[in-house]
């Protein structure tokens, strides 16, 4: 996500300064204060996150430092300096018990420690500053970033050396293509309409439906089988239905993000050329 935002912002002619976690640890208040007060940016966009859902159960302190304390530090300094803050959260703040997409008015109820730490980050940001854009995304995928947290990249790797794949049908959400989300976020910033938003591609699907669609597109010759989450034992609960309703984003931006199918096709087109 960070790289797509950085690239698009540069194309817009914005002056952008980007920091890796090796250079700036957002859980370190002193470092955050020094960086922001020295640079004096118009806006801070926080893409830092601890995204390892399973590991977070044991490494919850590290997850909380990045997902909760880091946003607290950013929000505190941004408020003092009258700087706007963009912070990303997740569909995993919800328990998945609904059968219709979650709206920004639905109350969070995370099932696991990863979701709990992300919710804490939301609370810190929304309580410590008024100049925030709090963006929930779900099932994030893009050309850049870590393969281990990108379902489509993992699927493409699996398809290269396996002739059978078992993908769950009971996990449903809204895919979010980083290029599309980046555009929407930068457009949202320019409106000055602070608040909580859900930003995903249009529509939702199960992991199985998404995999089926991708594997057909790449003419995979193997066999795809439906599975249940219980077929893959895990101590970590995940929401079964966490699709996000993006209302009122369309009325603010003047457009709706492309469908997840359109976004995935564009991803594949670029991925297969690399």
Lookup: tokens for 27:
């859980």
Q: How far is CA 257 from the centre of its chain?
A: 15
What 3-state class would DSSP assign to 223? strand
What number of other Cβ atoms are within 10 A of residue 256's Cβ? 12
Question: Which residue bears the tokens 């490494």?
Answer: 59
Catalytic residue among 102, 114, 132, 208: 114
Q: Residue 265's closest CA among 158, 136, 152? A: 152
Q: What is the dihedral of CA 3, 7, 13, 15, to 10 degrees?
A: 30
* Strand residue runs (E) in 22-138: 43-46, 84-90, 132-137
What number of other Cβ atoms are within 10 A of residue 192's Cβ? 9
- List Cβ neighbours of 55 (8 Å cut-off, separation of 6 or more): 63
Q: Is 114 a catalytic residue?
A: yes
Query: In angstroms, rounded to a whole number, what is the distance separating the alpha carbons of residues 140 and 260?
Result: 11
- Whether residue 215 contacts residue 159, with contact meaning beta carbons closer than 8 Å, is answered with yes
Enclosing H/E stretch for 172? strand 172-173
- Known catalytic residues? 114
């Amino acid at each position: 996500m960070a790289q797509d935002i950085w690239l698009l912002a540069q194309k817009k002619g914005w002056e952008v300064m980007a920091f890796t976690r090796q250079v700036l640890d957002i859980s370190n208040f002193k470092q955050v204060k020094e960086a922001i007060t020295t640079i004096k940016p118009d806006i801070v966009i926080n893409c830092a996150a601890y995204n390892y859902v399973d590991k977070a159960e044991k490494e919850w302190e590290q997850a909380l430092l990045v997902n909760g304390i880091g946003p607290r530090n950013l929000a505190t300094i941004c408020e003092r300096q009258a700087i706007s803050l963009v912070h990303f959260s997740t569909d995993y703040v919800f328990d998945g018990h609904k059968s219709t997409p979650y709206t920004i008015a639905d109350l969070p109820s995370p099932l696991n420690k990863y979701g709990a730490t992300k919710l804490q980050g939301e609370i810190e940001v929304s309580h410590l500053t008024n100049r925030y854009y709090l963006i929930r995304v779900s099932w994030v995928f893009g050309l850049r970033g870590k393969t281990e947290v990108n379902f489509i990249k993992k699927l493409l790797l699996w398809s290269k050396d396996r002739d059978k794949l078992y993908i769950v049908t009971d996990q449903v959400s809204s895919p979010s293509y980083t290029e599309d989300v980046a555009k929407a976020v930068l457009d949202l910033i320019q409106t000055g309409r602070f608040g909580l938003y859900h930003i995903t591609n249009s529509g939702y699907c199960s992991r199985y439906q998404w995999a089926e669609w991708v594997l057909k597109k790449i003419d995979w010759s193997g066999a795809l089988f439906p599975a249940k989450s219980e077929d893959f034992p895990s101590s970590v609960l995940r929401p079964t239905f966490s699709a996000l309703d993006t209302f009122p984003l369309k009325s603010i931006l003047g457009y709706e993000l492309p469908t997840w199918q359109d976004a995935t096709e564009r991803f594949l087109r670029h991925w297969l050329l690399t």
